[in-house]
Amino acid sequence: MKIYILPVDEKYFKIPRINPFCPHSQGFNCELDFHRFIKEYPDLTNNPDEATWHYLPMYWSYWQLSNDYGRVGRKEMNEYLKKLIISPEKTFTVSEADNEPRFETKIKVFSANTYNEDWITIPEMTLPHAFPEVLPERKYLTSFVGSFKTHPIRPAMQKALRLKKDVLINRSEHTKEEKLFVKTILESYSTLCPRGSAMASYRFWESMQLGVCPIMVSEVDMRPFKDEINWDQFSYWVDNVNKLPDLLDTLDKEDLIRRGKMAQHAWNVLFNQGWCKYMFDYL
């Protein structure tokens, strides 16, 4: 499979100084990771006519942040894409931005955050968190630390689990409290990973990295590459918070420890650019 990389203007590769989503992972996301991967691809070509696919290396999340979350610069970007893209039907791009790229041209999109029946879901992994020198003892069946502002599903989750004594839900608006975030996950047998402003959850992937079984809470199952990965072996997904109490009643702590180890192994494979290789099965 020959790949041609479209010659995108370097100004679209600029990374803002502030990353409001995961501060510890500044300078890393799926867009950058795939771009690094494809530049080492052994079958690149400089001839777009002989290429099987054209890769559009746009950093959509950073474009969105630099343009007031996509509220400005849209007309200019649309005109730029019309001139740049040679064959929309053989062009693909990778996006971690919520709801991007939303432009007139129809191309194949691999998206980490947005559900669209025509788009293909990929991971939205971050750089790994550091483990503390001494791991804390586990004391929560499941837990959540995070903001309630990003989606109504989060306060609804707290309400649905208010009678569960072995569940910790810590409402925190301070996204930079990384030590508290990591400590709480490691004190848990599983983690609640509700969607936020986008369909997916960074917390899902962070939990996997830390070796804790994640429970995705979202209307859509955003776990990617289901043909290659049996997610039900080491994670859970519920589409409604009212299903959480019954699910938690079925969980076994020893089984959750086993699932956490499997989740961590899967994360290691994907983080080491294994997810990029899976993409080629969808091209």
3-state secondary structure 161-175: CCCCCCEEEEECCCC
What is the Cα–Cα distance from 199 to 99, expressed in whole angstroms?
10
Domains of the chain in start order, with CATH, are 3-122 (no CATH), 142-271 (3.40.50.2000)
Please tell me the predicted confidence (pLDDT) of residue 20.
53
What is the Cα–Cα distance from 227 to 55, expressed in whole angstroms?
23
What is the Cα–Cα distance from 146 to 79, expressed in whole angstroms?
39
264, two tokens: 């961590």
Locus of tokens 């994907």: 270
Q: Are the beta carbons of 98 and 197 closer than 8 angstroms?
A: yes
Task: Give the burial string for 64-88 (b: 16+ CB within 10 Å, else e).
Answer: bbbeeebeeeeeebeebbeebbeee
Please tell me the predicted confidence (pLDDT) of residue 172.
78
Please tell me the predicted confidence (pLDDT) of residue 26.
81
Q: Are the beta carbons of 54 and 76 closer than 8 angstroms?
A: no
Q: Are the beta carbons of 183 and 134 closer than 8 angstroms?
A: no
Please tell me the predicted confidence (pLDDT) of residue 251.
98
Q: What is the residue-level pLDDT of the chain in tens, covering all 283 positions?
A: 999 999 999 888 777 655 556 778 888 999 999 999 999 999 999 999 999 999 999 999 989 888 888 899 999 999 999 999 999 999 999 999 988 999 988 899 999 999 999 999 999 999 999 999 999 999 999 999 998 988 999 999 999 999 999 999 988 765 557 888 999 999 999 999 999 988 999 999 999 999 999 999 999 999 999 999 999 999 999 999 999 999 999 999 999 999 999 999 999 999 999 999 999 999 9
CA angle 238, 242, 243 (to 5 degrees): 45
**What is the length of the chain?**
283
Give me the amino acid identity at 98: D
What is the strand order of the sheet 108-111 is part of? 3-5, 53-56, 91-95, 108-111, 120-121
Q: Are strands 167-171 and 120-121 parallel, antiparallel or unpaired?
A: unpaired
Helix (H, G, I), strand (E, B) or coil at 195: coil
Locus of tokens 């996997």: 208
